[in-house]
Amino acid sequence: MTAYFGFEPSTKLKTDIETILANLANKVAEPQYHLSNEIARLFTDEVIDNLLLNLVGVMQHHGDSEGGGLLKFLGGLLKTMMHGALKVMMGKADNAEVNKRCDFLRKRLLQLPDDKTRLGFELPQDVYNHFQHAFSQIDAGNGKAFAKELTDTMSMFTDLSLVAFFDDFISGLNLGMINRKMASVTRSGIHKESHSTIKKLIPSLNDAQLKDFSAYFKAMLVER
């Protein structure tokens, strides 16, 4: 069995990814960079929505706390940072270059047996096991006692997500020295703010909110 993290993409994003991959496989003559750029924007937004912003409403089912504000701030900040970076880094490209960029999509598109289509990545088994242990303890009503384990696991998960969703994406772009420096600065900002938020967020949640958090993330973990 192999463990994965993955969320279900919107119908538009899923269709756009399938379309561009089919077009490239069929070697269509029409330029594909417009669609590639749109996919990059949508993909970025849906990663941030699924990892952060969708959680705001979930956790408000059992009272409002500073956690919602932390998530809103981080999600908005990351979208601003990434939209700015994408405008600079993405642009006109021939189909051969677009095909190289799309290796990222081919890696992140998970079509696992007996499962819905997901966008995600393989999880190390120890990280998956830590998640499952923390979630089982939270479900049993021991959430506050296992908040540190969940915080540590989410920190590891954040680093893995940065590699899967940022580094792997950047590696497929033909960037000059200035844009690579900008990408490095952007990554550092994302890393710093994400870890800071995790350390503040999870200890601030009450038991009911921890259960909501657990149920939300558990749905995006799968073994096949």
Q: Report pLDDT digits (tens) over 31-73.
A: 999 999 999 999 999 999 999 999 888 877 666 666 778 888 8
pLDDT band at 18 (very low <50, low <70, confident <90, very high): very high
pLDDT recorded at residue 64: 63
Q: For residue 109, which of 26, 176, 43 has the smallest C-alpha distance? A: 43
Burial of 157 (0-12, 13-18, 19+ CB in 10 A): buried
pLDDT given at position 69? 83
pLDDT of residue 131 exceeding 80, the answer is yes
Measure Cα distances from 74 to 48, 53, 127 in Å.
9, 9, 23
Residue 186's nearest CA partner among 53, 51, 78, 75 is 78
Q: Tell me the percentage of the chain whose pLDDT exceeds 90.
A: 77
Banded pLDDT at 8 (limits 50, 70, 90): very high
pLDDT at 65: 62
Confidence of residue 206 (pLDDT cuts 50, 70, 90): confident
State the pLDDT at residue 31: 97
Tell me the whole-structure pTM to 2 decimals: 0.92
